[in-house]
Chains A and B, each alone.
Chain A
Amino acid sequence: MTTVSMTVNGKAVSAEAAPDTLLSDFIRESLALTGTHVGCDTSQCGACVVMVDGSSIKSCSILVVQAEGAKVTTIEGLASDGELHPMQKAFHENHALQCGFCTPGMMISAIDLVNKNPDLSEADIRHGLEGNICRCTGYHNIVKAVQAAAAEMKG
């Protein structure tokens, strides 16, 4: 076991973990932040995407020790003081979620996309989200929501 420390959703955390622990398992099991989901075992589905030092990453694809000292944002950390992030608001208003399982990873991927390219086109959104699988929505409303959030995030 090794001790890992990082900042998660603005709070310093420190916990013991086996060195082969995936960041996704650490978040779900050690930190009990169960909003991050695990939907596959081949780093294909994107349900586990979190923000690490400002970039979205599939948290099943890195070891927790690689995130030592990092700033991690999970779905639980998106809203601030009860105020939803524009992406959360847009997903709700555009019915961009059904079962909700892919939603946390989808939204964090989308936020990263918009952060990096505020003027993204529909094709950019579709291409940018191809690492996040949604089985419910057919993506139509997800694309709409990301467009709406992008407009709002630009202010």
Chain B
Amino acid sequence: MPDGNATGIGASVPRKEDRRFITGKGNYTDDINRPNQTYAYFLRSDIAHATLNGVDTSAAEKAGGVVAVFTGADLAAAEVGGVPCGWALTFQNGDPMKEPGHPILAQGKVRHVGDPIAVVIAESRKQAKAAAAEIKVNLSDLPVVVDMTKAIEGGQSVHDEAEDNICFDWAIGDKAEVDAVFEGADHVTSIDIVNNRLIPNSMEPRVAIGDFEDSTGDYTLYTTTQNPHVIRLLMGAFVLKIPEHKLRVVSPDVGGGFGSKIFHYAEEAMVTWASAQINRPVKWTSDRSEAFMSDAHGRDHVTKASLALDKDGKFIGLKEETLANMGGYLSTFGPAIPTYMHSVLMAGVYTTPVIYSNIIAVFTNTVPVDAYRGAGRPEATYIIERLVDRAAREMGISQVELRRKNFIPEDAFPYQTPVALAYDSGNYNATLDTALKNGDVDGFDARKAESAKNGRLRGIGYSTYVEACGAAPSAVAGALGARAGLYECANVRVHPTGSVTVFTGSHSHGQGHETAFAQLVSEKLGMHTENIEIVHGDTEKIPFGMGTFGSRSLAVGGSAIDKALDKIIDKSRKIVSHILEAGEGDIKFADGNFTVAGTDKTMAFGEVALAAYVPHNYPLEELEPGLEETAFYDPTNFTYPAGCHVCEVEVDPTTGVTEVVKFTAADDPGTVVNPMIVEGQVHGGIAQGIGQALLEGCSYDDNGQLLTGSYMDYTMPRADNLPNYVVSTESTACTHNPLGVKGCGEVGAIGSPPAVINAIVDALSDLGVTDVAMPATPQTVWRAIQAAK
């Protein structure tokens, strides 16, 4: 058996899953076809807000190849439920948030471009699409609500339940106390921020196949989700009333998610329900245009924020007022993102003693908004780091010095912030030092002079951030409105000859769990990852688990695996104790071998496994045969990855074209299991962060028409838009999970946007520019330059 040590924690083990992806043998949902399957096409609203007077499907029903046509009225008659929201917020006075229904197909009104009105099911996709054109929809236009500031003035409501379009008006912190601090402050820095709306754009569009088997009454849903059990629970219990034991959800290889595949979507319920109506499988494959108007969007905050400082530059208070767009309906985690994933991070890495964050969530006639890589934390980091950058400029203190002066010191952990969270560990000076060194910040002035010779303005920008991952302690989440637990589960099955299959509730859609999770087993059992298989993504195989989002897989799912492995080793020790006739306390386990202290007695892990399944010499009266253990892990705290990103840009002042010429990240993701994978995750996050800062921006016109509805209009970062990144880790261990891990999936997207924008502001500061909006397109930058003239 190959050496296990080579594939344990800390090794850059090449990915086990790669082979199938590089040879075209991946199994994505759209690659699945079921016998006798039909195809669904959704007719979607092409106007943003209207009364739905009626839908005439008679011509479509007669069209070639059509099997069935369903509308919202059919679903209402069948008492199909709406898409549920998974997190309940309250108003400041304790009243529950406004929670209007979210029907599977529109009923009464359409509320955004892309809102599904009817579904056609036909023998081919082409026939379904052609028939949908025959559906006559009777709509009466209503005034459209797009701009949040206007939305909350009332006059036209998206939902009757919320006349002023306010879903909730929530706050954390003592406003009076914070106001008082501001009154007495030596310096106050303020900023207005628009955190631009983004479209997640995983490269694999969503797909759902409903497959009902009438001989057994079993339903199977194949779907592109990050969390199959969550979908099974939400869709089964709340929408279709199918008990869990009759509903299987399979999410095989999934081509990226970035949050957008967490949520339960209407199309999943639609194909599952329709399959039972027609007693045939129903397949829906989103095309990209459809994805733009039906996948949940991200970010979209409008914020006013201020930082109060004393004369020495110490932060003494911070406040924000944010309008957070919810879109036309509440998506699964929509309300949680601007609140419990955002406001509680407003201390950042600093000792700011008092903080007030007020979040007003707003309905508009736009696609629902929910988690997108970072989810609330990029928005928090952007506010804090733009404020800090501006304060340093206003007070004439260096960017680095002002940050150091206000860092939570290394010896202050665990650190209780004024906004609920308690950070367990961190060393913000260490990541800052590493970034300054790796980014050769000392050489910046020379590079700036060199750029100037070429007519380019060079700037440097910093971001020192902390985020919260590993969601979450269930009791805490529940107290804050979560309608689910947030533990994770793992089942470790040791086979008779000693190889191992792990069944995990976490889900991999690019993160490399089949490798990284195998490394956890390799480390603990001393076996090579070749002998370890990780299974995920099928509710019929895996134990109940919450899936993958918020950089939780390793911290929560990995910890569950670790706990299950502990149980395996404990049981193994009992078996060894019996066979080798030694006291349990004398038995040591290392490098895959059990040894008895003070003797030469030894037993390999594989031999123990065999003994467990062929229990001829086995303590059967005390111990069950077999070697398989399950563990649930519910964390006691979030984890707090942190770090420092330093960005250098060159701006061409004549065109406004901005190029990121140097990007350095030093991150603290806790214990690093696979450095290669961690670097890859950070690269990808930074690319999305630079995308947000420079390129990407979802745009609606005043009529609620999506102007950025394709890759012709929505600027995705491409290879020639991005630099190479200098990334490194500077880890402190998480103190409350057994692996010491924190998370790395989102740090890039959280830390990078303010570093980029601060760099542009720095480049243009000599011209008098103090602010540049995201995305800092050439036009935006050029206009900022002109306005400052």
- Cβ-closest chain A residue relative to B289: A41
Interface of A is mostly: loop
Contacting chain B: which of A51-59, A64-72, A89-97?
A: A89-97
| B687 contacts A103, C-beta separation under 8 Å | no
B interface size (C-beta, 8 A): 55
Q: Mark A6-38, 1 if CB is under 8 A from B, else 0.
A: 000000000000000000000000000111111
B239 at the interface (CB under 8 A from A): no
B18 at the interface (CB under 8 A from A): yes
Whole-angstrom CA separation of A35 from B27 in the bound complex:
9
B3 at the interface (CB under 8 A from A): no
A136 at the interface (CB under 8 A from B): yes
Contacts of B256 in A (CB 8 A): 98-99, 101, 135-136
Q: Mark A56-86, 1 if CB is under 8 A from B, else 0.
A: 0000000000000000001110110000100
B399 at the interface (CB under 8 A from A): no
| B710 contacts A44, C-beta separation under 8 Å | yes
| A99 contacts B687, C-beta separation under 8 Å | no
Give the shortest distance, in Å, between A124 (CB) and chain B (any CB). 10
Contacts of A75 in B (CB 8 A): 22-24
Whole-angstrom CA separation of A143 from B724 in the bound complex:
9
Decide yes or no: A130 and B203 within 8 Å by CB, A93-B14, A137-B680 being known contacts. no
| A39 contacts B28, C-beta separation under 8 Å | no
| A35 contacts B684, C-beta separation under 8 Å | no
Contacting chain A: which of B111-119, B337-345, B576-584, B715-723?
A: B715-723
| B724 contacts A100, C-beta separation under 8 Å | no
Contacts of B205 in A (CB 8 A): 39
Contacts of A88 in B (CB 8 A): 22-23
Decide yes or no: A92 and B719 within 8 Å by CB, A37-B204, A75-B23, A136-B510 being known contacts. no
Contacts of A99 in B (CB 8 A): 202-204, 253-256, 509-510
| B204 contacts A138, C-beta separation under 8 Å | no
Give the shortest distance, in Å, between A92 (CB) and chain B (any CB). 5
Contacts of B23 in A (CB 8 A): 35, 75-76, 78-79, 84, 88
Query: Contact partner of B28 among A37, A74, A123, A134, CB < 8 A?
Result: A37
| A44 contacts B712, C-beta separation under 8 Å | yes
Query: Contact partner of B22 among A107, A132, A136, A138, CB < 8 A?
Result: A107
| B203 contacts A92, C-beta separation under 8 Å | no
Whole-angstrom CA separation of A98 from B510 in the bound complex:
4
Give the shortest distance, in Å, between A111 (CB) and chain B (any CB). 12
Decide yes or no: A76 and B719 within 8 Å by CB, A37-B204, A100-B253, A138-B686 being known contacts. no
Contacts of B202 in A (CB 8 A): 99, 101, 135
| B28 contacts A126, C-beta separation under 8 Å | no
Whole-angstrom CA separation of A106 from B14 in the bound complex:
19
| B24 contacts A34, C-beta separation under 8 Å | yes
Contacts of B25 in A (CB 8 A): 35, 76
| A92 contacts B18, C-beta separation under 8 Å | yes
B622 at the interface (CB under 8 A from A): no
Contacts of A93 in B (CB 8 A): 14
Contacts of B258 in A (CB 8 A): 135
- Cβ-closest chain B residue relative to A90: B22
Contacts of A35 in B (CB 8 A): 23-26
Whole-angstrom CA separation of A126 from B203 in the bound complex:
19
Whole-angstrom CA separation of A101 from B258 in the bound complex:
14
Decide yes or no: A45 and B288 within 8 Å by CB, A40-B710, A140-B683, A140-B725 being known contacts. yes
Whole-angstrom CA separation of A75 from B19 in the bound complex:
12
Decide yes or no: A137 and B720 within 8 Å by CB, A37-B28, A44-B710, A99-B204 being known contacts. no
| A40 contacts B719, C-beta separation under 8 Å | no
| A137 contacts B687, C-beta separation under 8 Å | yes
Q: Mark B662-687, 1 if CB is under 8 A from A, else 0.
A: 00000000000000110111011111
Known: A42-B289, A100-B17. 14 other contacts (CB 8 A): A76-B23, A93-B14, A95-B14, A95-B680, A97-B18, A99-B204, A99-B253, A100-B20, A101-B255, A132-B718, A135-B716, A137-B684, A139-B718, A142-B719
**Which 10 A-B pairs have CB atoms at the shortest separation, nearest pair first?**
A35-B24, A100-B21, A101-B255, A138-B687, A99-B510, A75-B24, A44-B711, A98-B510, A138-B683, A34-B31
Q: List 7 A-B contacts (CB under 8 A).
A: A34-B28, A34-B31, A41-B288, A42-B710, A42-B712, A93-B14, A137-B687
